[in-house]
Chain A
Amino acid sequence: MNAHEAAKRPRNRIYESRGEPVFQAALVVIFLLLSVTFLYPYWHVAVTSFTSPDYASASGFKLWPRAWSWDAYIHMFNASFLWSGYLNTIKVVLLGWSCSIVGVVLGAYPLSKRDLPLRTLFTSVILITMFVSGGMIPTYLLVNNTLKMRNSYFAIVLPHCISVTHVIIARNYFMTLPDELEEAAIIDGANSWQVLLRVMLPLSTPILATISLWVIVSNWNAYFNCLLYITDSSKYVLQVVLRRIILTDSKEMTAASEAVANSTDTDIVTLRAASIMLATIPIICVYPFLQKYFVKGMLIGSLKG
């Protein structure tokens, strides 16, 4: 029986208190109220993105557009480089995700072995970097001048692909998995690689899913490093592209230029709102897909049997 079936098995037959329905009702009410508050800002932005510029800047609650307008989205989708922005961001996310997951697992697994030689040394080397850092300029010189990773996605992804926090969290997770599992596999003739791939990873789906989510989101939002290292505008990622679209609306960026911007139908407020929607909706949809990995892949009990 796998985890999904176990989760679906009705659990309320054995022992439940009489206050159960009341408790559930209370939970539902509280969560409904909370959800409304959590949802509102997003709703507000969505409504703004569909509001005509006359009312877009008006204050007050936005429950429904006072005057509907598709203008912001038309303007966004008219920009031919919007799609290249999406594509490039997807490339960065895939590259970043693969580098990170591989790096984190390769770092966390050995460090989870309590009798690893020089374990404290390795851990300290990694941990210290959480507290001291050379800063942006030396990193730039290293990546751009020394390593000559110019205009490439590796420059955006590689320098920060293995986060100390992720390694530590994954390491501790591995440490909580019982040793008997590994020992059983080793007795069966598996080497360390096989133990990692066939035993540890399948059991670690919740933690891998969490770290994946964090890594995907952070790569999706990559912005400043792209500005720093990418000079070819066809390689710009989504966040950079979106700002281009918004700011390209004004001919000049002095305050005077806003006068020119005023004479068009699109408005910076609605454009910003639309760009937020376009940037965040794809990434928000990632978590629901990952949710199913948050249940353990294999029951420990099955080994005991």
Chain B
Amino acid sequence: MKKLMCLLLCLLLTLSAAALADVDVDAYVSDPAEKISIAWLAGHDTDAIAEGDTVVAWLEEKFNVDLDVWFLERENYDELLTTRIIGGEIPDVFMLQNAEQFSKYVKQGVVMPLPIEVIQKCMPESYAWLIDYDPGCFNTVSYSGVNYGLPRVNGDGRFNYAPFWRADWLARFGYTDGKVPMTLEECEDVFYKFANEDPDGNGEKDTYALSNTGMNPIFGAFGALPDRWVEDENGDLVYGAVYPGMKDALTLLAKWYQDGLIDPEFITGENQGGYWALSVPFENGQIGFSSSGAYYHLAPDFDGPEDEETGAGSNFKYGRTMRTFAATVGYENMVIGYNPVGPDGRQGGESWGLTTDEAIVFSYALADKPAKVARILEIINDIGSNFDTWEKIWNWDLESDQYDYDELLGFVAKEGHEKADEGSHTNMFNTLQNPNFAMKAKPAQYNWAMDMPQFQTGGYANTLLPITTASMPNCWTSMETLRLTTYIAIITGEQPVDAFDGFVDSWQAMGGTAVTAEANEWYHSR
């Protein structure tokens, strides 16, 4: 009898094991009455959660959970996370900052697979708008054909970088009333005038046309950016550094450098060691064309300056770049231009992808806890798709009725409303970063950008290859070093333009061929 029981038990276990081997989507359901504790790191934060934080308490009550929210600082994130994991603690759900971390943790089995079916079941609303916003968003979290987590999309990915000009200089050469050069030829023509025909009218030949950020739209006019992966005419991935069109771009840039159109100090960076989106030569009137900064850096002062009479403050002070230029160059002397169109009709500058390379993943320890996974997805879904919940998270304030909605400013606290002094942990809980909601929260900037075609001509996103391929760790750094040094040498004339061909050969030999093959393998198996 005992033997029979044993056998039956074994049979039962084998059967259930076999059942679990396939994804049992139905297991991913959580009983709302069951209190679950979650170690949460599904986003980034700048500070630990204070004791008795009201919003976290509200979330805990609403979803019947016990939240242990981790805080790992952004700059040393990987080290801190690795250390904690080795020390025996791992968060249940956590964020990974980039492709390298994602590849590493997935390969080492720290992260559990998260089948799409489960996502569709547990967070249907969020899945719907995610796919709607970016149909390929799950590429950033897939590895070898298996899905490992949730992507984080970026509302700003809709807008490419656009260059800007000195309007007063343009006016001298026939471009008035907001007109700007549109094609590469027109730009070249104006560039020569900027360098040679004294655009600032001071009688000295002390101006150039552009510096290093201005080179990006030029590269873009030939079909790629040197540090981005692009699709070639066969639909394959190819790295911008060895894209054939780059040779033409370099030819042009080398000629311009020779002819004094390019500020020689472009080498030390247009920001000259300061904030990344600033342009020192532009600010000093040394150049007239630049593409430093994203769209929001160039935002205008939406509600005008402070009222002299009433003292009512201005809520906006321009985007950071524009703020400095408004003070130094003068706002009326700025005009936002278009990425120039090249000989083949291509155009574009830098752009972020619609989806960032951050990933939200689940710890391996949750592989046998579907109820917990389901509950976590439920919370993420609610914050990501339920506007009322999201609003509380965004303002980090439970009293939504204490906020008015303003056309420009978004949510504005009512007069006399004092928010609890507990900081804000929005990013930690705004896991999916719903771009439609974000638009509502920052209407001024978004609406302005939506009305500017300059920001919508398309750019070269940096997320076509969101993983590190197998051979990359061994050779990528050297390949990038070679790219940087060769490009600069060609532009400054230290090496002839034909050195480009030798560079391509070296690059391929160092590992470029292997990496490209691996990249395409991933690209075509998505």
Q: List the interface of chain A (C-beta within 8 A of B).
A: 53-55, 57-60, 80, 136-137, 140-141, 144-145, 224, 227-228, 231, 233, 243-244, 247-248, 250-260, 262-263, 265, 267-269
Chain A residue, CB-CB nearest to B155: A256
A233-B71, A250-B46 given; name 4 further pairs at CB < 8 Å.
Answer: A54-B327, A145-B88, A254-B156, A256-B155
Q: Is A259 a contact partner of B272 (Cβ separation < 8 A)?
A: no
Q: Is B315 a contact partner of A224 (Cβ separation < 8 A)?
A: no
Known interface pairs A59-B284, A253-B74; A265-B50 also in contact (CB < 8 Å): no
Could you say which of B324, B438, B442 contacts A54, with CB atoms under 8 Å apart?
B324
The verdict on B319 contacting chain A, using a C-beta distance below 8 Å, is: yes
Q: Is A247 a contact partner of B46 (Cβ separation < 8 A)?
A: yes
Docked complex Cα distance between A196 and B445 (Å) = 70
Q: Is B87 a contact partner of A244 (Cβ separation < 8 A)?
A: no
9-residue interface stretch from B76-84, B220-228, B374-382: B76-84
Q: How far, in Å, is B285 (CB) from chain A's closest CB?
A: 12
Q: Is B442 a contact partner of A265 (Cβ separation < 8 A)?
A: no
Chain A residue, CB-CB nearest to B318: A262
Q: Is B275 a contact partner of A54 (Cβ separation < 8 A)?
A: no
Which residues of A have CB within 8 Å of B237? Answer: none
Which residues of B have CB within 8 Å of A54? Answer: 317, 323-324, 326-327
Q: How far, in Å, is A63 (CB) from chain B's closest CB?
A: 17
Q: Is A137 a contact partner of B83 (Cβ separation < 8 A)?
A: yes
Q: Is A244 a contact partner of B427 (Cβ separation < 8 A)?
A: no
Which residues of B have CB within 8 Å of A137? Answer: 82-83, 86
Which residues of A have CB within 8 Å of B317? Answer: 53-54, 262-263, 265
Question: Which residues of B189-222 are within 8 A (CB) of A?
Answer: none
Question: Which residues of B54-90 are within 8 A (CB) of A?
Answer: 71, 73-74, 76, 79-80, 82-83, 86-88
Q: Is A256 a contact partner of B87 (Cβ separation < 8 A)?
A: no
The verdict on B294 contacting chain A, using a C-beta distance below 8 Å, is: yes
The verdict on B299 contacting chain A, using a C-beta distance below 8 Å, is: yes
Q: Is B283 a contact partner of A254 (Cβ separation < 8 A)?
A: no
Q: Is A136 a contact partner of B83 (Cβ separation < 8 A)?
A: yes
Chain A residue, CB-CB nearest to B438: A256
Q: Is B275 a contact partner of A57 (Cβ separation < 8 A)?
A: yes
Could you say which of A59, A231, A258 contacts B320, with CB atoms under 8 Å apart?
A258
Docked complex Cα distance between A91 and B320 (Å) = 39
Which residues of B have CB within 8 Å of A58? Answer: 283, 324, 327-328
Q: Is A140 a contact partner of B83 (Cβ separation < 8 A)?
A: yes
Docked complex Cα distance between A57 and B278 (Å) = 8
Which residues of B have CB within 8 Å of A257? Answer: 427
Which residues of B have CB within 8 Å of A265? Answer: 313, 317
Q: Is B154 a contact partner of A252 (Cβ separation < 8 A)?
A: no
Q: How far, in Å, is A229 (CB) from chain B's closest CB?
A: 10
> What is the total of A-B residue contacts with beta carbons within 8 Å?
120
Chain B residue, CB-CB nearest to A224: B76
Which residues of B have CB within 8 Å of A136? Answer: 79, 83
Q: List the interface of chain B (C-beta within 8 A of A).
A: 44, 46-48, 50, 71, 73-74, 76, 79-80, 82-83, 86-88, 154-156, 272, 274-275, 278, 280, 283-284, 294, 296-297, 299, 313, 315-320, 323-324, 326-328, 352, 356, 394, 409, 421, 423-424, 426-427, 430, 433, 438, 442, 445
Q: Is A256 a contact partner of B156 (Cβ separation < 8 A)?
A: yes
**A-B residue pairs in contact (CB < 8 Å), sample of 8:** A57-B320, A57-B323, A244-B46, A248-B47, A250-B46, A254-B356, A262-B318, A267-B320
Chain B residue, CB-CB nearest to A80: B421
Which residues of B have CB within 8 Å of A256? Answer: 154-156, 296, 438
Docked complex Cα distance between A250 and B46 (Å) = 9
Q: Is A252 a contact partner of B426 (Cβ separation < 8 A)?
A: yes
Q: What are the nearest 6 A-B pairs in CB distance? A: A247-B46, A252-B427, A259-B296, A233-B48, A59-B280, A54-B327
Which residues of A have CB within 8 Å of B328? Answer: 55, 58
Docked complex Cα distance between A231 and B80 (Å) = 12
Which residues of A have CB within 8 Å of B284? Answer: 59-60
Q: Is A262 a contact partner of B319 (Cβ separation < 8 A)?
A: yes
Chain A residue, CB-CB nearest to B152: A254
Q: Is A262 a contact partner of B316 (Cβ separation < 8 A)?
A: yes
Q: Is A255 a contact partner of B352 (Cβ separation < 8 A)?
A: yes
Q: Is B76 a contact partner of A227 (Cβ separation < 8 A)?
A: yes
Chain A residue, CB-CB nearest to B427: A252
Which residues of A have CB within 8 Å of B87? Answer: 140-141, 144-145
Q: Is B424 a contact partner of A59 (Cβ separation < 8 A)?
A: no
Q: Is B296 a contact partner of A227 (Cβ separation < 8 A)?
A: no
Q: How far, in Å, is B225 (CB) from chain A's closest CB?
A: 18
Could you say which of B154, B283, B438, B445 contacts A59, with CB atoms under 8 Å apart?
B283
Could you say which of B50, B275, B324 contacts A233, with CB atoms under 8 Å apart?
B50
Q: How far, in Å, is A84 (CB) from chain B's closest CB?
A: 12
Docked complex Cα distance between A211 and B296 (Å) = 50
Q: Is B80 a contact partner of A259 (Cβ separation < 8 A)?
A: no
Q: Is A262 a contact partner of B323 (Cβ separation < 8 A)?
A: yes
Known interface pairs A57-B275, A137-B86, A144-B87; A259-B299 also in contact (CB < 8 Å): yes
Could you say which of B294, B326, B427 contacts A253, with CB atoms under 8 Å apart?
B427
Q: Is B424 a contact partner of A233 (Cβ separation < 8 A)?
A: no
Which residues of B have CB within 8 Å of A233? Answer: 47-48, 50, 71
Chain B residue, CB-CB nearest to A267: B320
Chain A residue, CB-CB nearest to B49: A233
Docked complex Cα distance between A167 and B326 (Å) = 57
Known interface pairs A136-B83, A255-B294, A259-B296; A55-B320 also in contact (CB < 8 Å): no
Q: Is A252 a contact partner of B430 (Cβ separation < 8 A)?
A: yes
Docked complex Cα distance between A60 and B280 (Å) = 9
Q: Is B80 a contact partner of A251 (Cβ separation < 8 A)?
A: no
Docked complex Cα distance between A60 and B324 (Å) = 12
